[in-house]
Structure 1
Amino acid sequence: MSFDLTDLRLFVHVAEAPSLTQGARRACLSTAAASARIQQLEARLGKRLFYRSARGMELTRAGQRLLTHARRMLRQIDHLMQDMAGDDDHTGHLRILANTTAVTELMPAVLGNFLAARPHLTIDLRERLNHEVIRGVEQGSADMGIVAGPVSTLELERYHFSTDRLVLITAPDHPLAQRQSVVLEDMVEDFHVGLPDTSSLMQFLTRRFQGVGAQLKLRVQVASFEAICRLVASNVGIGVIPESAALRHRQLMTLALVHIDAPWAVRERSVIVRDTATLPGGGMALIEALKHYGWRTGEVADSQR
């Protein structure tokens, strides 16, 4: 069975829209032409790929299976074209899914010098929850993912590159600032300053509080770790953020850092890929850059030293 790449790209565009009109526009086709192509693809496969309704296009189970394979095939075609256009790691395009800390703290620190040395390499970096990162790499919608903490990635290649930990930050005169360490129960009565509900860190902390039968009491939610630190330093509330971010911001403002005595506070960072042999240009070089960052900053687990 042969596949037309235009049909596959159209199918993916419609599935991700999910609207025939929007998908057709992304594929630079008229709605009528797109509809005819989708119907021809369904006839060729002998499977219905979409449920059509006034609300849009919804994938059938056969459509969901095709979407996974189509994404992988198209990514490989893109990688082939990139490899033919250049013979080193300085060209190409990488799509990366990562959790909150990686998007806001880690990747900006790593990508500065990395991309400056590779002017023809482009990167699409998007924030996702851990399970969404894993699914995206498994399904081929991303070249690589960055996850934190214990995750199951049996079908993927995983490379540990650093270890950070979550810490409690408070104003210096807060009662908890005098403690050597705290546990989760010590933090349930205080108001917290946190990230938006959509962030992976916020959802992780919310689940931890629910696990001890408590509610994470939020006084204000802001968009960055810097904003959290500024508000905490003003005694607006307490916060839980990565130690690497807390140490960096403590250089500019007065904060107390308190150790959290819990296994979940340790956050091992790993990069996951389906197969390093099929990574586009720059992929392996970026993995090495992440490893180097871990060694350089000292954010490496004792077992890796």
Structure 2
Amino acid sequence: MLQKSLIRRLDLITLQLFVAVHEEGTLTRAASREAIAVSAASKRLMELEEALGISLFVRQAKGMTLTPAGETLLHHARQMLFNVEKMGLELGEHSHGVRGYVRMLANLSAIIQFLPEDLRDFSARHPQVKTDLEERPSAGVIQGVLDGVADLGICSIDSDIKGLHSVLYRPDKLVVLMPPHHPLANRSSVAFADTLDSDYVGLHAASSINMRTHAAAREAGKVLRVRIHVPGFDAMCRMVQANMGIGVLPQRAYELFGRALGLTAVPLSDDWSDRALIVVVRNEALLSPVSRMLFEHLRGTA
């Protein structure tokens, strides 16, 4: 019964008014912001609460504050309004000749190392397809695809993909980044356990490399001595250059950033350092035509 009532009576104008009341603190200021009469705004809020069967605001002399139920609705209302705005933007692209729109999530390793050239080649073949790319850690990529935020994602192969369909994208070899004067710099390869007497420059806590190196340190019976966390591979290279420690990053990222700074990369001999990146989707058969084209293109690069 509630679902049918919501379908009939829940509208975007009322949701926008609801968000405005929360942000402005009073019905009068919210009505002014949304260019609606105060009486009409009050009627809309009352009808919304009746449709939901709950109170959304605590009315006080100094203004209106959300109830716990109101906090829940606020989260969903903002997401709905965002999605409508994004839908309008995407549909608007069609009036300018764009045939399709692909939403994509990828981890830092994929974005830095491989996607610039792969997306350039895809765009050259399909110039009327627009790609919306967002960077997230591997776990965030998986959750985003599960939630429908993106059509496809790229993450580390050692991630829990939670039932998503996956195909191989690219191999991704990890190396230890260090100054050329470091005691391990002349080795042809090095075991990760042998590096743990050095200070480390670590990536952000949610990155798969950060989690894997901490796990490997625990397996070796030691603690990873992280001196500083950085947001990306370029920042890691600069910190290593400044003698803040050593770091673990992909071979290709070293070639892009570290080599030009005069740094050295020594391959890790541990099995876990030979990893791969994968493309994940909810259901390959349900991909839109343009998403399927990009999926096939990325799968072909393997």
TM-score normalised per structure 1: 0.67
- The structural deviation recorded for 1:128 is 2.0
Tell me if structure 1 keeps the 8 A contact 2:279–2:299: no
Change (3 A) 1:157 1:173: same
What amino acid maps onto 1:105 in structure 2? Q
CA distance in 1, matches of 2:115, 2:194: 32
Relative distance call for 1:281 and 1:222 in structure 2 (3 A) is same
Q: CA deviation at 1:5?
A: 11
Q: Specify the alignment match of 1:264 in structure 2.
A: 272
Counterparts of residues 123-272 of structure 1 (less than 5 Å)? 123-153=131-161, 155-197=163-205, 199-210=207-218, 212-233=220-241, 235-249=243-257, 252-272=260-280
Separation in 2 of the partners of 1:9 and 1:262?
57
- Cα distance in 2 for partners of 1:156, 1:230 equals 36
Q: Which amino acid aligns with 2:138?
A: N
Larger relative contact order (Cα-Cα within 8 Å, sequence gap ≥ 6): 1
CA distance in 1: counterparts of 2:251 and 2:202, whole angstroms: 15
One-letter amino acid of the structure 2 residue matched with residue 144 of structure 1: L
Q: Are the aligned partners of 1:7 and 1:38 in contact in 2 as well (CA < 8 Å)? A: no
TM-score by length of 2: 0.67
Q: Which runs of 5+ in 1 are unaligned?
A: 295-305
Q: By how many angstroms is 1:151 displaced? A: 2.9
**Are 1:20 and 1:34, in contact at CA under 8 Å, matched by a contact in 2?**
no
The answer to whether the 8 Å contact 1:100/1:201 transfers is no
Deviates more, 1:162-171 or 1:39-48: 39-48
- Tell me, in whole angstroms, the C-alpha distance in 2 between the residues paired with 1:42 and 1:109: 52
- Measured after TM superposition, the shift of residue 242 of structure 1 is 0.7
Partner amino acid, structure 1, of 2:66: S
In the alignment, the residues of structure 1 paired with residue 124 and residue 10 of structure 2 have an alpha-carbon distance, to the nearest angstrom, of 34
CA distance in 2, matches of 1:50, 1:262: 57
Larger Rg: 2
Give the CA deviation at 1:122. Answer: 2.8
Query: How much has 1:246 moved relative to structure 2?
Result: 2.0
Give SS of 2:161's match.
coil
**Alignment match of 1:59 (pick from 72, 81, 84):** 72
- After TM superposition, give the deviation of residue 196 of structure 1 in Å: 3.9
Deviates more, 1:235-244 or 1:254-263: 254-263
Per the alignment, residue 61 of structure 2 pairs with none
Distance change (3 Å), C-alpha of 1:132 and 1:222: closer
| Percent identity between the two aligned chains | 31
Q: Secondary structure at the match of 2:198?
A: coil
SS at match of 1:141: coil
SS of 2:134's equivalent?
strand
Q: Which residue of 2 aligns with 1:91?
A: 99
Gap regions ≥5 residues in structure 2: 25-29, 59-64
- Evaluate the alpha carbon distance shift between residue 7 and residue 211 of structure 1 in structure 2; reply closer, same or farther with a 3 A threshold: farther
Change (3 A) 1:280 1:228: same
Residue 282 (structure 1) aligns with: 290
Q: Which moved more, 1:176-185 or 1:204-213?
A: 204-213
Contact 2:209–2:248, Cα closer than 8 Å, also in 1: no
Counterparts in 2 of 1:253 and 1:280: CA distance versus 1, 3 Å: same
How many residues align? The count is 277
Relative distance call for 1:253 and 1:20 in structure 2 (3 A) is: same
